[in-house]
Amino acid sequence: MIEGASYSDTFDSDDRVSCAVKGHEDFRSPSMLVRSQNGWGVSYTSTEICAIRGSTMDITCTYTYPSMLDHHVTTVQKNFWFIKESNGIHVDLKTDPEYSGRVEYLCENNKCTLRISNLRESDSAVYKFRFTTNQPTGSFTGSAGITLNVTDPQLQVHVRRSTANPYSTWTELTCHSRCQLPDHLSYVWYNNNEPVGQKKYFHLQHFNAEDSYHCAIEGHERFPSPTVYAPKPPSVSVSPSGEIMEGSSVTLTCSSDANPAANYTWYKENRTLLQGPEGVYRLSSISSGDRGVYSCKSENQYGRINSTSLHLDVQYAPKPPSVSVSPSGEIMEGSSVTLTCSSDANPAAIYTWYKEDEDSPKASGQIFTITNITAEHGGNYQCEAQNTRGRSKATLHLTVAAGKSVMIMNILRLTLVVVLVPVLVWTLWTRMKKTLSLKSEANEAVEMIESHNCPEYDDVAAAAQTEDTEEQEDLV
């Protein structure tokens, strides 16, 4: 901003300009006086300065005036600094009781310095310079003034790394204040609380993770900057603590002591999950697939470090079991069979085997073996997987085929029925036919004997009767 200047008190202003790089307005150039045509003006060395509480501060200006007006040589009769006006009268700081004994003017050759010692926060104000001359209306005030902020230094350490070479570890640290401090101040740098330098800038070839740095203004070491350092090993935690149930909400937190504050990255088994300044990773409805090993990384401008691993355990009821039979394929009677049941569960499942339509369990355990299997073992078998979080079931159908020995016996039985029975029937029929023929012949002989009344034929008849009886017994 450019302000006008004037010969009379009516125009108490001066023309001054300064410049700064956009985005870095804290580092403005000293102001310059743009003198008015009539030659009156006041130029301040800066527009705004900071001072440390308890220190001594110099505020300087340069003033100009015409050497002659209306054929009269101009001479300065009085010059002073002020911050107040009362009834149009500018109050000289030397007469202000708040500044009594703390103010000194150092003026010569159109340059005047205000020195204030033992600065207080209440000294923060806009300071202006005024001078009067022997000319009838020859007073002039540099109305823009200088803004003085009295405070603690509020120093910060800024870091800048080399960008020319990606492999370079060169680092520059700057001791920076929120407002512009006087150039004459000296700085002190500390590495792990030991002094190591006395410049505003401090250069490092390598920033070790275990190192810390801070700066202060010489003579005001009681107002150091915050210490900067690389992140310390992060701590990781899970909430809620204790057992985690599937479907619940879980929060993972990563925290690390670091200055500047660290940025965090969460990983699950080397897969990046989240990056940000909070270090918090939330799972709103955790599932069995979220089980695994988690870790985080803490990082700032000075270094990075990884946390220890966090194993996240998620408990859940058994998933539907998978069941299998071995050997696979056709199951023959007399063989051995192994039934296997497997279910994803946490805690690990307990297994129980049931056969359809039977209340009592057949076996317990993941493996159920049946030896010397028979047809009665066929049917549906049910495996139940159970833990403290629930249970789940699956069914297996077992079909048993006849064994080789049984098949042979069945073939033999069939052979007997198909072949031997007809033979047996034919044999019986043949014997019966023979018996009937013999019986008929014997009866004829008896009749002949009886008809002739021959006793010698009685023995023949009796023998035929006996033979007939034995043959009938054989047939039976």
Q: What is the pLDDT of residues 314-367, one digit of tens each?
A: 999 999 999 999 998 888 898 999 999 999 999 999 999 999 888 899 999 999
Q: What is the mean pLDDT of residues 388-393?
A: 94
In this structure, the strands spanning 48-52 and 139-151 are parallel
Output the CA torsion 437→438→441→445 (10° steps): -170
Residue 1: inside a domain: no
Look at residue 4 and tell me if it is in a domain: no
**Domain boundary residue among 401, 423, 456?**
401
Greater model confidence, 74 or 180: 74
245 and 180 belong to one structural domain: no
> What is the domain count for the chain?
5
Average the pLDDT over 304-308 and give the result.
93
Whether residues 452 and 357 fall in one domain: no
Percent share of the chain, pLDDT over 90: 48
Output the pLDDT for position 266: 97
Residue 316 and residue 326 in contact, taking contact as beta carbons nearer than 8 Å: no
Same domain, 23 and 108: yes
**Residues 14 and 139 both lie in one domain:** yes
Q: Please give the average per-residue pLDDT across 95-117, as a whole number.
A: 94
- Lowest mean pLDDT, pick from 114-128, 203-217, 351-365, 383-397: 203-217
Q: Are residues 136 and 37 in the same domain?
A: yes
Q: Which of 147, 128, 149 is nearest to 13 (CA)?
A: 128
For residues 366 and 343, state if they share a domain. yes
In 178-227, DSSP assigns E strands to 187-191, 194-197, 201-204, 212-217
Is 97 within a domain?
A: yes
- 334/300 same-domain check: no
Distance from C-alpha of 359 to C-alpha of 88, rounded to nearest angstrom? 110
Instruction: Find residue 252's DSSP bridge partners.
Output: 238, 281
Residue 406 lies in a domain: no
Q: Which CATH number does the domain housing residue 288 bear? A: 2.60.40.10
Residue 342 lies in a domain: yes
Last residue of a domain, one of 119, 151, 183: 151
Q: Are residues 115 and 55 in the same domain?
A: yes
Q: 239 with 224, same domain?
A: no
**Cβ(294)–Cβ(268) under 8 Å?**
yes
Higher pLDDT, 35 or 288: 288
Same domain, 167 and 55: no
Do residue 346 and residue 376 come from a single domain?
yes
Instruction: Please report, for residues 28, 151, 233, 264, the alpha-carbon distance to residue 282 in angstroms, rounded to integers and kept in the order given.
Output: 46, 42, 21, 14
For residue 197, the enclosing domain spans 155-229
**pLDDT of 452 over the 80 cut:** no
Q: What is the pLDDT of residues 13-37, one digit of tens each?
A: 444 455 555 554 555 555 444 444 4
> Sorting pLDDT into bands at 50, 70 and 90, what band is 209?
confident
Question: Do 132 and 164 fall into the same domain?
Answer: no
Half-sphere exposure of 341 (CA within 13 A, CB side): 30
